Amino acid sequence: MSRTLFGTDGIRGVAGVPPLDPATVFAFGAALGEWVAHHASRRIIIGMDTRESGPSLASTVAAGCAESGVECCFAGVTTTPGVAHLARTGDFAAGLMISASHNPFQDNGLKVFDHSGFKLPDSEERLLEQRIFALLARNADPRGLPLVADPAYDRHYAASLAATFSGSLSGARLVLDCANGAASHIAPELFRLLGAGVIATSCSPDGRNINLNCGALHVEALRQRVLAEDASCGAAFDGDADRCILVSPSGRIIDGDHCLYIAARKLRPSAVVATVMSNLGLERALAALGIPLVRTAVGDRYVIEEMLRSDLPLGGEQSGHVIFRQYSTTGDGLLTALRVLEIATLSGLDLDRLAEGFTVYPQKLVNVRCATRRPLEDLPAVQAEIRAAESEFGNSGRVLVRFSGTEPLARVMVEGPTQDRVDARAHAIAAAIQAALA
């Protein structure tokens, strides 16, 4: 049975509009409260990023949970991995993060973690959906419950991160881009605590500037600042800080694939888990180390599921979600930066040296906004363009076309030997999709 409300990363949409309208959010809280009420602890921890809609959504969820006698503790602004950590280490049955990650401020989302710190599996989300729809049919009046943030929760999370780091960042000069999001306060404090000189940018959230031309999706300004400041490293986080993109001293972009390669060189795992979006260059670079790459569907939840199934310590996504299973149950941008910087510190090598051996294959990503969705295999013109690209590139390239799980988009990814050929094939496929689904 497919899910209607939940996508690949919780419930996401425009704040105030279904499925994030007050009635549905209140029903979500009530359904979550009923689920929590069957656990030993009858408490959940709620965190949010810096979007202006966050406090209202948190208040409405808390009121719904209260219907079942469930207490909601409020961490206020914190990161998605921070909520997962608090759910796992505290007396909580679950954690709820209110965030739309890298999306613009108008969007928001509801993401649930169980007491183990893992995102709920699809089967549990389907059950929650059924209960939400049943509660909506009762037409209860949505309301809010006042919440007061306790900064002790964020301090606990920051201390746990600092405790994982070996050595000191004394002498390091870091430029941090916090996307005007959840990392705006915690990231500069954390890296200064570890001895680094920090130049903090995009750390002035106003409720509407989260991810606005900054953060992990917009790293060019960070790259220029790293070069201008002669910095040791740059780090860009997204709105909820579960992903990280780094910049080397020479200005090289170190994305999630590079981070996986750098960590794998150090950890030497029996295999690394990544998604179908990871660059072919990662697969080839790991193969040169004798390390297989296991690919999953897009979404860090599927990466961690495979890591657990195969008992593997390292996995992630090109987008910057990297999971170090020894320390975390989900992607954590701050933890990723710490792990890579620790490897650099202990080895005496900068990020440029650590990334040697990884050659990125030319890649083109094209997003196509779709008014409707139809199975891609039912679109002959699209399939013809895909086959043409695969025939041209053979083993020296890849083609991936899929629908987004969080936005009304078809995503086209093409890799190949030269950028011009890759661009041409990606745009041809995108045009065929546009014509078929406009």
Q: What is the mean pLDDT of the chain?
A: 96
User: What's the pLDDT at 217?
Assistant: 95
- Before 19, cis peptide (omega within 30)? yes
What band does 167 get if pLDDT is binned at 50, 70 and 90? confident
Could you count the other beta carbons within 10 Å of the beta carbon of residue 190? 22
Tens-digit pLDDT profile for residues 216-236: 999 999 999 999 999 999 999
% pLDDT > 90, the chain: 93
% pLDDT > 70, the chain: 99
Per-domain residue ranges for the chain?
A: 6-152, 164-354, 363-437
In CATH terms, is domain 164-354 a member of 3.40.120.10? yes
pLDDT of residue 371 exceeding 90: no
User: What's the pLDDT at 298?
Assistant: 87
Alpha carbon distances (Å) from 230 to 220, 233, 352: 15, 9, 14
CA distance linking residue 249 with residue 95, whole number of Å: 37
Residue 363 gets the label, from left (phi > 0), alpha (psi -120 to 50) or beta, of: beta
Q: Which residue among 53, 56, 99, 101 is the active-site one?
A: 101
Region 6-152: CATH code: 3.40.120.10
| Of 187-191, 300-304, 416-420, minimum mean pLDDT range | 300-304
Mean per-residue pLDDT, 405-433: 93
Tens-digit pLDDT profile for residues 68-80: 999 999 999 999 9
pLDDT of residue 23 exceeding 80: yes
- Confirm whether 101 is a catalytic residue: yes
Tens-digit pLDDT profile for residues 277-329: 999 999 999 999 999 999 999 888 899 999 999 999 999 999 999 999 999 99
User: What's the pLDDT at 2?
Assistant: 59
CA distance linking residue 96 with residue 414, whole number of Å: 35
Check if 164-354 and 363-437 are the same fold. Answer: no
pLDDT of residue 356 exceeding 80: yes
CA distance linking residue 438 with residue 436, whole number of Å: 6
User: What's the pLDDT at 155?
Assistant: 95
Question: What are the strands of the beta sheet with 363-369, ordered from one edge?
Answer: 363-369, 409-415, 398-403
At the fourth CATH level, which superfamily is domain 363-437? Alpha-D-phosphohexomutase, C-terminal domain (3.30.310.50)
User: What's the pLDDT at 132?
Assistant: 97
User: What's the pLDDT at 180?
Assistant: 98
User: What's the pLDDT at 200?
Assistant: 98
pLDDT of residue 393 exceeding 80: yes
pLDDT of residue 1 exceeding 80: no
What band does 9 get if pLDDT is binned at 50, 70 and 90? confident
CA distance linking residue 376 with residue 389, whole number of Å: 16
Question: What are the strands of the beta sheet with 244-247, ordered from one edge?
Answer: 197-201, 173-177, 233-237, 244-247, 253-254
Mean per-residue pLDDT, 367-390: 94
User: What's the pLDDT at 252?
Assistant: 97
For 146, phi and psi rounded to 5 degrees?
Answer: -60, 140
Residue 116's SS3 state is: coil
For 302, phi and psi rounded to 5 degrees?
Answer: -75, -30
Which H/E stretch holds residue 136?
helix 122-136
Tens-digit pLDDT profile for residues 113-153: 999 999 998 899 999 999 999 999 998 899 999 999 999 99
In the chain, the amino acid numbered 391 is S
User: What's the pLDDT at 13?
Assistant: 95
User: What's the pLDDT at 131?
Assistant: 97
Strands 233-237 vs 253-254: parallel, antiparallel or unpaired: unpaired
